[in-house]
């Protein structure tokens, strides 16, 4: 079984993430919406958007229906693209799967380093 690291907001393009998200009942005209289930989603980050959200491709989705909800809840299909904001992902306890092998984390460290970013941007 793979080890997952809690990562907060520090994920980049190429990372494989896992998080839980609530599924909400469609709102009626009045009243509050209720949580009708929960999804455990595993997805890979495709790109980061300027508005602070990310585009992901779903690898796996396990949906659990709430006790009082009798209707089926649609799952996210593997291979489909989804868009999520960073804040709800962090709230759902986002975890990151380590990059493959010992060299994988070294490469990821170089990509996220503030020192190599300055060189890429052409700054001294």
| 47-69 tens-digit pLDDT | 988 888 899 999 999 988 877 77
Q: Does residue 20 surpass a pLDDT of 70?
A: yes
What are the DSSP calls for 43-89, one per residue? EEEEEE-TTSEEEEEEEEEEEEE-SS--S--PPPPTT-EEEEEHHHH
Question: Cα–Cα distance between 71 and 49 in angstroms, integer?
Answer: 34
Average pLDDT over residues 38-47: 91
Exposure string over 11-27, b if 16+ CB within 10 A, otherwise e:
beeebbbbbbbebebee
What are the residue ranges spanned by the domains of the chain?
A: 5-99
| Mean pLDDT of the residues in the chain | 79
Alpha carbon separation from 26 to 29, 31, 33, 36, 63 (Å, rounded): 10, 11, 7, 10, 17
> 24: Cβ–Cβ under 8 A, 6 or more apart, which residues?
33, 34, 35, 36
Mean pLDDT of all residues in 28-40: 83
Q: Which one-letter DSSP state was computed for residue 123?
A: -
Q: What is the tens place of the pLDDT at every residue in 98-122?
A: 866 555 555 555 555 555 554 444 4
Higher local confidence (pLDDT), 43 or 101: 43
- The structure tokens listed for 79 are 């291979």
């Amino acid at each position: 079984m793979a080890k997952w690291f809690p990562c907060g907001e520090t994920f980049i393009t190429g990372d494989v993430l896992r998080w839980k998200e609530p599924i909400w009942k469609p709102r009626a005209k009045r009243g509050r919406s209720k949580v009708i289930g929960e999804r455990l989603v595993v997805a890979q980050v495709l790109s980061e958007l300027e508005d602070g959200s990310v585009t992901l491709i779903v690898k796996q989705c396990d949906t659990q229906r709430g006790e009082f909800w009798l209707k089926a809840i649609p799952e996210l299909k593997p291979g489909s693209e989804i868009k999520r904001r960073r804040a709800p992902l962090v709230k759902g306890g986002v975890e990151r799967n380590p990059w493959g092998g010992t060299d994988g984390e070294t490469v990821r460290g170089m990509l996220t380093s503030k020192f190599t970013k300055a060189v890429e941007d052409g700054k001294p």
